[in-house]
Amino acid sequence: MTVPAGYHAAAGATASSFKSFADKIIHEKTGMEMILVPAGSFAMGPAKKVQVTIGEPFYIGKTEVTNAQFRRFVEATGYDGKGDIDPDPDYDLYLRHWRGKSIMSDKDDYPVVWVSWKNAKAFCRWAGLNLPSEAQW
């Protein structure tokens, strides 16, 4: 069974039909479980559908990024998010959740919320991951 560098096979993983890649893996830096999405074609869009082809299989997180995973990123990098958004007087309210001041912040396995696209991109840069494209999502 093939596993990309920086990952290990998840418990119960099996070899997929694509070059024997594991069907589920663990990203070592974040602990995120990733699942293999096969290549294929599908109709995308609500009204005027467009035929989309994903040429190569890819891995995507089985769940959303959790509070614990995002906190690990913030603690490892000192990231405060302020450089990633236009000035806004309400931004400190926006950042409050993942700075540990929200009612949900201490729930490690809950999805992190109030994360902008730029915050998510910064997390992915640190983790060595990518945000999914619209078609992959």
Q: Where are the domains of the chain?
A: 1-62, 64-130
- The pLDDT score that the predictor gives to residue 84 is 62
DSSP result, 96-119: TGGGTTSTTTT-TTSBP-S--HHH
pLDDT average, residue stretch 34-38: 93
pLDDT average, residue stretch 28-44: 93
Higher pLDDT, 120 or 101: 120
- The pLDDT score that the predictor gives to residue 96 is 57
Q: Is residue 81 predicted with pLDDT exceeding 70?
A: yes
The single-letter DSSP state of residue 37 is E
- The pLDDT score that the predictor gives to residue 102 is 60
pLDDT average, residue stretch 59-71: 93
- The pLDDT score that the predictor gives to residue 131 is 95
- The pLDDT score that the predictor gives to residue 15 is 87
